[in-house]
Amino acid sequence: MKYCIGIDVGGTTIKTGIFEAEGRLLKKWEIPTRKGDGGTQFLKDAAASIREALQELSIPMEDVLGAGMGVPGPVVANGYVEVCVNLGLHKCYPAKLLSEELSGMKVVLGNDANVAALGEMWQGAGKGHGSLCMVTLGTGVGGGIVCEGKIIPGVHGSGGEIGHVRVEDGEPEPCNCGGHGCLEQYASATGIVRVAKRKLAETLRDSAMRAFGEQLTAKDVCDCAKAGDAVALESIRYSMRKLSGVLAHVAMTTDPKLFVIGGGVSKAGTFLTDMIEENLRDYTRLIDDPDRRVVLAELGNDAGIYGGAKMVLEA
Amino acid sequence: MKYCIGIDVGGTTIKTGIFEAEGRLLKKWEIPTRKGDGGTQFLKDAAASIREALQELSIPMEDVLGAGMGVPGPVVANGYVEVCVNLGLHKCYPAKLLSEELSGMKVVLGNDANVAALGEMWQGAGKGHGSLCMVTLGTGVGGGIVCEGKIIPGVHGSGGEIGHVRVEDGEPEPCNCGGHGCLEQYASATGIVRVAKRKLAETLRDSAMRAFGEQLTAKDVCDCAKAGDAVALESIRYSMRKLSGVLAHVAMTTDPKLFVIGGGVSKAGTFLTDMIEENLRDYTRLIDDPDRRVVLAELGNDAGIYGGAKMVLEA
C-alpha cells in the first residue's frame, strides 16, 4: 500500500491529511501556523507533526509517495513563491524546505485555491472529471482551474485568479488588491452584502433586508431572496450575473464541463448554482451541452488536503 | 534526421509543410480543398500530395514522426469532430482517416486557431515561451491558448474560443454565432468597421473616415486613427478595449507571459499592440511584470503548418 500526504497551510492553522493513494483519508489533523524564521518555523512544525502521525499509523517513510502543499498566495509552476504575506514567505521554495525537513520526501507546492479545485476533482463534486473550474465564494473569491488532470498555475502564479478580473468599469471603491471593479467586490460574501446595501440605499422600496441594518450578511441576502424579497432577489441576481460572466470567459478559454461552487456563500445551495447555470447557458450559447453543470462543492474545508495529496500523484 | 508534417485545412485550400524536427521548413505547398464524400475527399488529396512531396525530397515514410492537422472548427481532446461546416465534416475522427490514407502514420488533430498559436510559440513570436495566448483578428476573432507547451483544446473544443465571449450587454445586432455582444462584433476587421460606422452615425463631428463611405475598412479606421483623427481614435480604442478586457480574463485564467496578435488587422502594427498592452496592464494590476508583452505574430499564414508539425512533437 502506498500513501500520500496533503497539507493546506492557512494564515491561522495548518491542516494535514494522510491518504491511501487510492483516495481514502486515513487521518487528518490541524496545528497552529507559527510564523517566524522567514516562514521556516511552520514548515518545521508541519514536518514534525507528519513524522508523528506516520509513526502512529505505522507507515514507513518509504511507503509515502510524497506530500502536496497548498499556500494562500501565488505559486509559479516551478514552486517558487515571490511573496506570501499571510505566511511571511518571501522569495523562497517552500516545497524544497519542507522536503529537507522530511528526509528528502517528494514535496510539491500549489496555490491553495488551485489545490482545492484538484481535491474536488479527485474525491469531491468533480469525481470522474478531468477538467473543471472551482470557485470559492468566501470573504474573497478564489478560483482554481484544472485541465486534463493538471492544475493551471500560470506563469505568474495567477492561474485561476478570477476573483480579480475587472467586471465593472467606474467602480469608485477599491478592491483589497488595489484594483477597482474586481469580481470579488460583487460576488464574495462581503461583495454580496455591499451590493445589497447599495441597492437598499438606491431605492425607497421596502425590503426584509432593511431589518438587519449594518449587520446584514450574505446569508441574510440569500435567505431574503429565497423568501421572495424583490430587492434581495435583484441584488443576488446582480452578484451572480457578475460571477457567471466571468465563468463564461472560463468556458471559452479552458472550456471545462464542470463548474464547482464552494466557500461559505455556497451554503445557499442550488438556489445559487441554478441561477449561475442559467446565466452561463445564456452567456455561452455556442456550447450546447446539457451535461455541462454548475454544482456545489462537496469536500468543504478538506478540499485542500485532498488536492494536496492528489498533486503528488499527478506530479 | 527526423521530419514532421504540418497541415492547415481551410475552406478553400489545404496548406501543407514538411519540416525537420528541429523546426526548419523544407517545403510547403497548397492544394484546393475538394469537399465531398463526407469530408474524406480532401483527406485523400492531402495524403496523395504528402506522399508525392516526401518522394520528391527523398524522405522515407519511416523517418516521418507524424503529421499534425488544423481544421476550422471545434476539436475535442481525443480528436473527435462533431461538425465542421466549412469542410462538410460530421461526427468523425479526421486524424484517424488521414492516418489510414498514410499507411498508419501518426496523425494528430487540432482546431486551426489553437494550432496556429502553437506554431507561433515554436518558431514565431513566441519562440522560447512555454505558454501564450494568440488572437487572430481577421473576418472573425480566433483565439488559441498554449499552456506549458500544450494546446488547451477544451472539453467541447471551445478552448481559446475568445471571439465569442459576451463583452457587451444589450447589443441589438446578432453575431455570426447567433449570440449578441460577442467580442468578434467589436474587434474583428468587420467589427472594427461596424464600431466606426456606429460612432460616425452618432456624432456630427467631422472625421476623415467619412470620405470612405460604405467602403470603409478596418485598415482605413486604423490609418485615420494613426493620422490623429479623433473619431477614428476613439473608435479603435473602443474596439481594442473590448479585446483587452477579454485578454485580461485570459491573464487571470491561464496567465501567460505573452499575447500574440495576428490576422489581417494586426498589419496596423505596434500602434495596436501598444494600445492593447496599456489596457491590459490597467486591467490586471495584480500581475506586476514588465516583461509580460503583447506582440505581433510573425509567421503569417504559415503559423498553421508550423503548429501542426509541432503538435506531432508534443503528442
* pLDDT score recorded for residue A16: 98
Q: Is the dihedral of CA A298, A299, A303, A307 positive or negative?
A: negative
**Is the pLDDT reported for residue B82 higher than 90?**
no
Integer Cα distance of A170 and A275 in angstroms:
26
Integer Cα distance of B163 and B156 in angstroms:
15
Integer Cα distance of B188 and A8 in angstroms:
44
Q: Which three cell numbers stand for residue B252?
A: 487571470
- Residue A250 vs residues A216, A285, B251: alpha-carbon distances, Å: 31, 14, 11
- Residue with the three cell numbers 498554449: B146
Do A152 and B147 count as a contact with CB atoms less than 8 A apart? yes
CA B264 to the chain's CA centroid: 11
- For residue B186, the tally of other CB atoms under 10 A from its CB is 25
Do B254 and A254 count as a contact with CB atoms less than 8 A apart? yes
Residue A55's H or E segment, with its range, is helix A40-56
Q: Which three cell numbers stand for residue B133?
A: 495566448
Integer Cα distance of B98 and B102 in angstroms:
6
Here the ipTM equals: 0.91
Do B158 and A286 count as a contact with CB atoms less than 8 A apart? yes
Which chain A residues are Cβ-neighbours of B292 within 8 angstroms?
Answer: 155-156
* pLDDT score recorded for residue A83: 85
Task: Identify the band that residue B190 occupies on the pLDDT scale cut at 50, 70 and 90.
Answer: very high
Percentage of the residues of chain B whose pLDDT score is greater than 70: 100
Integer Cα distance of B255 and B275 in angstroms:
19
DSSP A212-236: GGGG--HHHHHHHHHTT-HHHHHHH
Q: Which three cell numbers stand for residue A16?
A: 494535514
B76 close to A (CB below 8 A)? no
Output the pTM of the full model.
0.93
Integer Cα distance of B6 and A20 in angstroms:
44
pLDDT, tens digit, 9 for 90 and up, residues A3-54: 999 999 998 999 999 999 999 999 999 999 998 777 789 999 999 999 999 9
- Domains along chain B with CATH numbers: 3-122+302-314 (3.30.420.40), 128-298 (3.30.420.40)
B160 close to A (CB below 8 A)? yes
**Is the pLDDT reported for residue B87 higher than 90?**
no
Integer Cα distance of A133 and A120 in angstroms:
10
Please, which residues bridge with residue B30 across strands?
A: B15
How many contacts does A have with B, using Cβ atoms within 8 A? 131
Do A179 and B248 count as a contact with CB atoms less than 8 A apart? no
Do A249 and B246 count as a contact with CB atoms less than 8 A apart? yes
Q: Supply the mean pLDDT for chain A.
A: 95
A77 close to B (CB below 8 A)? yes
A131 close to B (CB below 8 A)? yes
**Is the pLDDT reported for residue A84 higher than 90?**
no
For A241-245, B8-12, B220-224, which range has the lowest pLDDT when averaged over its residues? B8-12
pLDDT, tens digit, 9 for 90 and up, residues B66-76: 999 999 999 98
SS (H, E, C) A296-315: ECCCHHHHHHHHHHHHHHHC
